[in-house]
Amino acid sequence: MFELMDEWGPEKVVTVNHQRSGMQGVLVIDNTSRGPGKGGTRMRADLTVAEVASLARVMTWKWAAVDLYQGGAKAGIRFDPTSPRKEEALRAFARMLRNEVPSEYVFGLDMGLNEADAAILCDELGDRGAATGTPAALGGVAYDALGITGHGVAEAVDASVAHCGIDDDRVVVQGFGAVGHATVRRLSELGYRIVAVSTAVGAVHDPDGLDVTELLLLREAHGDALVDHASGQRLAAGRELTLDAGILVPAAQQGVLDATNAGDVRARLVVEGANLPTDAAAQELLAARGVTLVPDFIANAGGIIAAAFGMRDRYSPFGVATDQIVPTVTERMRANTLTVLEAATTTDTTPHAAAGQLARDRVRQAMELRGQVPPTRQEIR
């Protein structure tokens, strides 16, 4: 586990093992120089500690990049989210982290968890503020209904298109879950043509544009199998990534673009809706070909802006002020995207490098102000 540590963190790694349910879990608190640890809680059967640590680091940069005062953290539960014993696993996980939650970390929603699960986590600890993303009926933010992360991704796309002068309105969205479907919905409202979407089952493509209203209705009726019922050409999952389109939004799992397929991407703009959808090799290939790549911790930060409202108001008797969320997300997402793209142009570097430097500078300044940076030899003398 020591190999996960560097000058930025993590500050604390807590692993838990619940023998009765078979639940194994981990909490990684990466860097809290700018505020207490906050990041989503995910559940999947093959989760790893390294995966959660990597995502916790992303949260450190993401909070800093959007200039909100929270620290980077992430929690993960190694358990099948479709299991009938899911609630037992959730309650065990919450109990075993009661020393850290909510004083050092607050649960949130990520892969495998929903608003009802957030309510269970709060109930187990007897603390309304133990999680964000609880149902609106409990004073929380209805993230799924608002589609706030996807809304932010779409705003990042639109701001990038204007900045880069891209005159191609065709968009491919890889993934049609909570983030992907909301991205498609907002992009359609902004006048873009959605030419392909995909799910875990496969992809569907129409070069003239898919019927977004139909897709959204089919998602409600069939889930991932919507691609088997939608109008358009059925494709194998992964084929959509290299279709002819101006814009590509990978909005599902991490690592979908790498050295094996990034060279075949035909889009001029790639906006990372998912966490870590490209690896370093893919980023290098895309940059060499002149493809603009907007990094995940900028493009999908709409969710954490909403989470900041949830953190602020989670103990309020009035609930979360949801009427402020969408306008704030729209404003901040567009401004942050432009800041990063302009910085990349000014410094003649990639948006990934520019965004990373901006975030690191802010975190480094906070660490220095709090006396967390090791003194130099001269200072020791």
Q: Is 74 a catalytic residue?
A: yes
End-to-end CA distance of the chain: 33
Beta bridge partners of 174: 198, 250
Nearest to 98 by CA among 203, 14, 217, 32: 14
User: Are residues 324 and 309 in contact, defined by beta-carbon separation less than 8 angstroms?
Assistant: yes
How far is Cα 378 from Cα 381, in angstroms, rounded to an integer? 5
How far is Cα 365 from Cα 65, in angstroms, rounded to an integer? 13
Distance of CA 96 to the CA centre of its chain: 25
For the chain, counts of helices (H) and of strands (E): 13, 13
| 86 marked as part of a ligand binding site | no
- Concatenating the DSSP letter of every residue in 209-258 gives ---HHHHHHHHHHHGGGGGGTSSSEEE-TTGGGGSS-SEEEE-SSTT-B-
Which value, in Å, is the radius of gyration of the alpha carbons in the chain? 20
How far is Cα 294 from Cα 315, in angstroms, rounded to an integer? 35
Tracing tokens 């989210």 back to the chain, one arrives at 81
Segment (H or E) for 146: helix 143-146
Nearest to 41 by CA among 66, 86, 77: 77
Catalytic residue among 18, 42, 57, 74: 74
Nearest to 65 by CA among 352, 373, 278: 352
- Concatenating the DSSP letter of every residue in 300-352 gives TTHHHHHHHHHHHHTT-TT---GGGHHHHHHHHHHHHHHHHHHHHHHHTS-HH
| 38 marked as part of a ligand binding site | yes
- Enumerate the known binding-site residues: 38, 62, 149
- Enumerate the known binding-site residues for NAD(+): 149
User: Which positions are catalytic?
Assistant: 74
- Enumerate the known binding-site residues for substrate: 38, 62
